[in-house]
Chain A
Amino acid sequence: EAGVAQSPRYKIIEKRQSVAFWCNPISGHATLYWYQQILGQGPKLLIQFQNNGVVDDSQLPKDRFSAERLKGVDSTLKIQPAKLEDSAVYLCASSPQQGALPGELFFGEGSRLTVL
């Protein structure tokens, strides 16, 4: 079974530029999450999708971050304009609608963003 795919793995941009990250979850997984992991901290949820609807985006900085999950499959997370403090690893995770506990997530390898 293929895992969660993310791209790009690494991205370096200057502040005020824009960047987009892509995620393809495990086939059949209805729930998709984007987490932000700043160095030295645990992952923090940015947004959660159930199919193509948003379940929780309370911690998403909506003035600069946006995310979409068209057709309920893959997802894109965009940052525009980027700030220095956005330097982090952006983790995508998915979970099936049935048969998994709340919190039992399958993670991709992450996209590391460096903002200069």
Chain B
Amino acid sequence: AQSVTQLGSHVSVSEGALVLLRCNYSSSVPPYLFWYVQYPNQGLQLLLKYTSAATLVKGINGFEAEFKKSETSFHLTKPSAHMSDAAEYFCAVNSGYSTLTFGKGTMLLVSP
């Protein structure tokens, strides 16, 4: 079985501050891990993906995530938040099953 837990349904940061969105996964086999972003009234867009090639993964818009097997985590970070980063972020896992399992999402709020 596979599952994803995202800690915090809402995260608030100031513009220019560090962004940290937490994701922990459960998988019986080595997983593929993903972060998707959803802007208001839009579909989901792939932000970055972990494929076992490197534990630190860089994505679009300055985001990156680090795969930590010992902690079963795949947290998403960005050194400096922009107003345009305000959106909902979803962590997802695929353990070789045919389906992708999403977390419940974390809404990122960025204040000036």
The chain B residue sitting closest to A58, CB to CB, is: B99
Which DSSP category, helix, strand, loop or mixed, fits chain A's interface?
A: loop
Residues A104 and B49 in contact, CB atoms below 8 Å apart: yes
Query: Chain A, 54-91, contact with B by CB distance < 8 Å: what is the 0/1 string?
Result: 01100000000000000000000000000000000001
B32 touches A102 (CB 8 A): yes
A residues at B contact (CB < 8 Å)? 4, 40-45, 48, 55-56, 91, 93, 101-110
Q: A41-B105, A102-B100, A110-B42 are in contact. List 7 more A-B contacts (CB 8 A).
A: A42-B92, A48-B99, A55-B98, A91-B43, A106-B46, A107-B43, A109-B41
Residues of B within 8 A of A (CB-CB), count = 26
Among B1-36, those with CB < 8 Å from A are: 4, 9, 32, 34, 36
B46 pairs with A105, CB closer than 8 A: yes
The 7 tightest CB contacts between A and B, nearest first, are A42-B102, A103-B94, A107-B43, A103-B100, A107-B44, A102-B94, A109-B43
How many Å from the CB of B75 to the closest CB on chain A? 17
Contacts of A101 in B (CB 8 A): 32, 49, 51, 94
Q: Tell me which residues from 49 to 103 in chain B have a Cβ below 8 Å from any Cβ of chain A.
A: 49, 51, 90, 92-94, 96-100, 102-103
Chain B proximity of A88: nearest CB distance (Å): 14
| Known pairs A101-B32, A104-B49; A43 contacts B98 (CB<8 A) | no
Nearest residue, chain B, Cβ from A10: B41
Contact of B105 among A42, A48, A102, A108 (CB under 8 A): A42
Minimum CB–CB distance from B71 to chain A (whole Å) comes to 21
Shortest Cβ distance from A109 into chain B, in angstroms? 5
Complex: how many Å from CA A44 to CA B99? 10
10 pairs from A and B in contact (CB 8 Å cutoff): A43-B90, A43-B102, A45-B99, A91-B43, A91-B44, A103-B93, A104-B46, A107-B43, A107-B45, A109-B42
Contacts of B92 in A (CB 8 A): 42, 103
Q: Is the CB of B34 within 8 A of A103?
A: yes
